[in-house]
Amino acid sequence: MKKLGLIFVVALIVFNLNAQEKKKYRIACIGFYNVENLFDTYHDAGKNDYEFLPDGSYQWTEERYQKKLENISEVISKLGAKTVSAGPAIVGLSEIENRRVLEDLVAMPSIKDKNYQIVHYEGPDVRGVDVALIYQPSLFKVVSSRSVRLSIPSERGFFTRDQLLVSGTIDGEMIHVIVNHWPSRSSGEKRTSPLRCAAADLTRSIVDSILQTDADAKIIVMGDLNDDPINESIDKHLRAKGKQENLQQGDLFNPMYKMYKDGVGSLAYRDSWSLFDNLIVSQGLLGNDRSSYKLYQTKVFNENFLVQQSGAFKGYPWRTYAGGAYQGGYADHFPVYLYIVKEAK
């Protein structure tokens, strides 16, 4: 096989794409991970990063920072790797402090050989965390990128993460990826819901601008949306539906909807699971015609090594900190990922 890494002979028992014969398929893995406060140990001017300094409340030392990088890079190295040995072509990330931490991350031994490149813009978030995207240039060719800011006139002094649009090609096919981290519920779900609806409207406007140029565009909306698939922001404002048979023109499809209904979550709070981490696709990625890339499968990466094994948070995602105490874990969210496939010619 070529190092390109997208050619993969798929066993029938794995994909069941053809009941009569084995075929060759091109397959790509695309993921998203809220890495929970990936800060370096230095103060960035204008950012409220004081907790994550060596003398801050979290006593964020170089040793702890390096352990965090090791943990996150380990996850990325294993994301989808059981099916695609090349690993994810694209990974969207949230809660990234700056480009420096991204450069440190992609240089970690477990993923250094993938030569991940970075797309990142500094945003206005008060804590200084941004979204970003890393990609393997042998698998994904970036054509353009831009950062889109959410402005809500009625909310003076409100700043949140920018939304990141990256357009590029996988095996010659244009894919548009929108990386999100919508406003949190920290002031209460009901009070903050309008903020997430506004964020959803912004994402929807980005989607619409792409679809106006190409009605069959392949778009992936990913991110920590701080809402579940059934919430108004996703269902009504983003128009991401959970059942393909209900899709109207321009609607998006949310494969996480069924997972949520089945009780699958990506984060836990007070013994209740939520599925805030979403991978949502346009209709250009749906259908049974595999002459071009189509969505095959979407998953939550909740492997056992990512799960807290004891204590008050047993069964939760294994965090870096819990209850203010250092745990040495990964993040408070599980990653999510999907496969797109097409028949090889």
What is the DSSP secondary-structure string of 38-84? Answer: E--SSPPTT---GGGSTTSTT---HHHHHHHHHHHHHHHHHTTTTT-
Give the Cα separation of 20 and 73 in Å (integer).
39
Q: Can you give the pLDDT at residue 20?
A: 46
pTM for the complete prediction? 0.94
The tens place of each residue's pLDDT in the chain, 345 residues long, gives: 333 344 443 332 234 455 445 678 899 999 999 999 999 999 999 899 999 999 999 999 999 999 999 999 999 999 999 999 999 999 999 999 999 999 999 999 999 999 999 999 999 998 899 999 999 999 999 999 999 999 887 777 788 999 999 999 999 999 999 999 999 998 899 999 999 999 999 999 999 999 999 999 999 999 999 999 999 999 999 999 999 999 999 999 999 999 999 999 999 998 899 999 999 999 999 999 999 999 999 999 999 999 999 988 999 999 999 988 999 999 999 999 999 999 987
Dmax (CA) of the chain: 64
CATH number of the domain residue 142 falls in: 3.60.10.10
Q: Can you give the pLDDT at residue 128?
A: 92
Does 294 map to a domain? yes
Does 54 map to a domain? yes
Of 242, 329, 263, 286, residue with least CA distance to 64: 329
Give the Cα separation of 41 and 111 in Å (integer).
22
Q: Are strands 24-38 and 7-9 parallel, antiparallel or unpaired?
A: antiparallel
Does 154 map to a domain? yes
Is the CB of residue 103 less than 8 Å from the CB of residue 118? Answer: yes
Give the sheet arrangement for strand 277-281, strand by strand: 140-148, 163-170, 173-181, 219-224, 277-281, 252-253, 240-241
Containing structural domain, residue 57:
7-343
Number of C-alpha atoms within 13 angstroms, CB side, residue 217? 22
Does 2 map to a domain? no
Does 286 map to a domain? yes
Q: What is the pLDDT of residues 47-87, one digit of tens each?
A: 999 999 999 999 999 999 999 999 999 999 999 999 999 99
Give the Cα separation of 272 and 281 in Å (integer).
26
Does 44 map to a domain? yes
Q: What is the count of structural domains for the chain?
A: 1
Does 126 map to a domain? yes
Does 1 map to a domain? no
Contacts of residue 158, defined as CB under 8 A and 6 or more positions apart, other chains included, come to: 152, 195
Q: What is the pLDDT of residues 16-32, one digit of tens each?
A: 455 445 678 899 999 99
